[in-house]
Amino acid sequence: MSDDDAIKTKDVDGVEHAAEDFAYVPDAEKPSTWKLPIFDTHHIGGALAAMTSDYRGHRVEIPEEDRDAVLRRILDRKAELEEGR
């Protein structure tokens, strides 16, 4: 398997995560573009804060036309994790 065929991942808190663990993935081949990790309830809370207000002094930069879909993805993942409790 070449590097081009390898599954792309991005490090969050010392752990590698695939694209499905992020709410906003504008380019699946470029992990540097992935935003808003949503792999646990802690990060989902941060993602919701970043989408709805300033989070740590910054509002996440996501194109206006993508914001509804990203928010829906965050809420869907939140529901999935809550079902698994």
3-state SS of the chain is CCCCCCCCCEEECCEEECHHHEEECCCCCCHHHCEEECCCHHHHHHHHHHHHCCECCECCCCCHHHHHHHHHHHHHHHHHHHHCC
Average pLDDT over residues 52-74: 88
Q: For residues 85 and 5, what is the distance between their CA atoms, to the nearest angstrom?
A: 34
Query: Is residue 12 within 8 Å of 43, Cβ to Cβ?
Result: yes
- Whether the model clears a pTM of 0.85, i.e. scores above it, the answer is yes
> Residue 5 — very low, low, confident or very high, per pLDDT cuts 50/70/90?
confident
| pLDDT, tens only, 38-60 | 999 999 999 999 998 866 667 78
Q: For residues 49 and 2, what is the distance between their CA atoms, to the nearest angstrom?
A: 38
Query: Is residue 62 within 8 Å of 70, Cβ to Cβ?
Result: yes
